[in-house]
Structure 1
């Protein structure tokens, strides 16, 4: 049986970004394996006939658990003759490439979903993550990037295959899936979760709840706006290490009526249909699949001015870029969109035009060309 291995630090990364690519290989007759830290969603992977390997990854590059994870990866690669290893996420990608080197497993390709080092980023990120990437590049046959800044950095690394650095349109989005435009469903969702009417404005923010995603910028901006008007709401979708802290802040400041955290959800298209604006307030972002989903749904964007958002947002055209943690600017931008339905509609329409280049069909074609290059090589 021909076997392919995907490696990522956490299972939700595989589930959220890579199911179409797993199915791509399965449809070609490959047996797909996944090496990740399995959790309460592992049955979803097993449900699509993926062979799962539980790896004791830690997201922290400092954790001693990663020595155990490396040993587990080495054992998996020794037991299985993989025709291709595709690694993701900084720690998972570093250890996956090191294990491949130790077991002479080739080829290995790496998708950088947003380097943790970036212009203006913290010095410690450059010391740790840039060094990790520079070292691991020597064990890599191909690097795939999803934004221009990362592409330029990746071209400077010394990898095993000449001209083996690529840029693609992210992980792709199923455009038809996210555009519902169902008025009755919209009203039902708005009433169910926020008691909001059609005259109210809902900003939806989708993603893991952690410090990097910086949902607090949205919460504090809504808090400020509510001192002037009470028709602006926020839906925060996701789970993570900062959820309890955000919930406590919301409760302590009596914001429960206007801000709801709904946790992990599988009905993202319906929630987007019920919303008016898509927001993303990360300190660092590779490309932002949630922004692509929002654009497909016809929503205008408010996002922090990061390398990933700049790829998708033409400022003032299909949305607005705001500085990281600039509450004043964020408040002004939310109010501008909240007060102008015509502007929201116009920007949402422009976003739907832009997102056509990021469709999953187009990205699968891009990836097919890359995968074919490596699967057809002799190592």
Structure 2
């Protein structure tokens, strides 16, 4: 049986869905990755996952380009004839559903892992127009989707008015974390010393880390301001910001800002890294002052590594961090409150260890990769049973 996973980038499927795809293959499914043409990483193919490429531009609003994308997907689906089409993110959800419907794919699943820029940005005529058009298209597509998956109830409630069938909507808690890999006992002390030295971090420094794309909606500005407040009182604290400037996102942080801030020395922008576990292994506190999330994978990976988390009291983040238990929730846009929460953890090692331990237990019981993959597999079986009837 064929399943097609549709996204705009190979990076997305690799970073968030690879474990799902490999697990499904181990259960006898044939899984294809359908991704944009211009990428040439070949990572999925190296993992044994066949890839089909199609033309799509994330930022394009040119009707001709968008029609070409839909027609290309239609031709792909007509030839491939998958039983299940699982789409991710706004454009693939919308265009994939239209093309999948035309190609008579039996089962179509839309996946909205987060609302994205057009729903989190409240200002600007252009953004409001995009949001209006996207919502109207979703209203149409939800008629033909067999299931629509969200990562939290708040996001689900943003869209529920667009359908007459609430039963189509469901929440699955994120992508799941590989708790065997992201485990505090997997990185030896010798390796930690090497990582610290390679990053120019002193042995005695307290390390505060953030991972993710460098877009303003992740709270980059607030984090930098909070870091300045912390540094004025504690010079033995280093901030590591791991991620890249996403040029495809209108809210991307500029390279000039990164260069200017990075000159201070105590805030280190590390760019895109593959060794996330190594960096988390030397981290004392994880921080994510985001304005809104689906369910933040970086936070869950940090929790799995036994690290306390300071994040914002917003959808997605409040689902994983319990204030005062495995970390702290602070108001969004508030650098002062962010700094105060970080300071509590900086001053209390015992508190850090206790909160970190509780966080790992929380991931093991609710957010592990195995739990999420089983939920996805059960959903596929349920939809297949309905299709056979």
Determine if the TM-score, normalized by the shorter chain, exceeds 0.5. Answer: yes
For each residue in 1:58-83, what CA deviation from the matched residue of structure 2 results, as whole angstroms up to 9, or x when unmatched?
Answer: 22373443332212111101111111
TM-score (norm 2): 0.88
Partner of 1:272: 280
SS of the residue corresponding to residue 6 of structure 2 reads strand
Confirm or deny that 1:7 pairs with 2:11: no
SS of the residue corresponding to residue 383 of structure 2 reads helix
TM-score (norm 1): 0.90
Confirm or deny that 1:92 pairs with 2:92: yes
Confirm or deny that 1:26 pairs with 2:25: yes
For each residue in 1:274-306, what CA deviation from the matched residue of structure 2 results, as whole angstroms up to 9, or x when unmatched?
Answer: 111111122221000111100000011111222
Unaligned runs of 5+ residues in structure 1 are none
SS of the residue corresponding to residue 316 of structure 2 reads helix
For each residue in 1:142-190, what CA deviation from the matched residue of structure 2 results, as whole angstroms up to 9, or x when unmatched?
Answer: 1122212233445544378x83322222111111211133322222212
Whether the aligned pair in 1 keeps the contact of 2:262 and 2:268 (CA below 8 Å) is no
Whether the aligned pair in 1 keeps the contact of 2:261 and 2:267 (CA below 8 Å) is no
Whether the aligned pair in 2 keeps the contact of 1:143 and 1:154 (CA below 8 Å) is no
Partner of 1:367: 376
- Distance (Å, rounded) in 2 between the aligned partners of 1:135 and 1:244: 30
What CA RMSD, in Å, does the superposition of the two structures yield over aligned residues? Answer: 2.6
Q: What pairs up with 1:154-193 in 2 under 5 angstroms?
A: 154-158=159-163, 163-181=167-185, 182-193=188-199
Partner of 2:331: 323
In terms of mean alpha carbon deviation, does 112-121 or 254-263 score higher? Answer: 112-121
Whether the aligned pair in 2 keeps the contact of 1:204 and 1:279 (CA below 8 Å) is yes
Unaligned runs of 5+ residues in structure 2 are none
Offset at residue 119 of structure 1 (A): 9.6
- Distance (Å, rounded) in 1 between the aligned partners of 2:62 and 2:278: 39
Q: What pairs up with 1:1-379 in 2 under 5 angstroms?
A: 2-38=1-37, 42-60=41-59, 62-64=61-63, 65-116=65-116, 122=122, 124=128, 126-158=131-163, 163-181=167-185, 182-197=188-203, 199-241=204-246, 245=253, 247-253=255-261, 255-356=263-364, 357-378=366-387
Whether the aligned pair in 2 keeps the contact of 1:209 and 1:241 (CA below 8 Å) is yes
Offset at residue 41 of structure 1 (A): 6.0
Summarize the Cα distance change of 1:67–1:240 in structure 2 as closer, same or farther, 3 Å threshold.
Answer: farther
In terms of mean alpha carbon deviation, does 95-104 or 115-124 score higher? Answer: 115-124
Summarize the Cα distance change of 1:246–1:342 in structure 2 as closer, same or farther, 3 Å threshold.
Answer: farther
- Distance (Å, rounded) in 2 between the aligned partners of 1:6 and 1:47: 16
Offset at residue 38 of structure 1 (A): 4.9
SS of the residue corresponding to residue 240 of structure 2 reads strand
- Distance (Å, rounded) in 2 between the aligned partners of 1:44 and 1:120: 31
For each residue in 1:54-108, what CA deviation from the matched residue of structure 2 results, as whole angstroms up to 9, or x when unmatched?
Answer: 2222223734433322121111011111110000011111111111122222210
In terms of mean alpha carbon deviation, does 97-106 or 178-187 score higher? Answer: 178-187
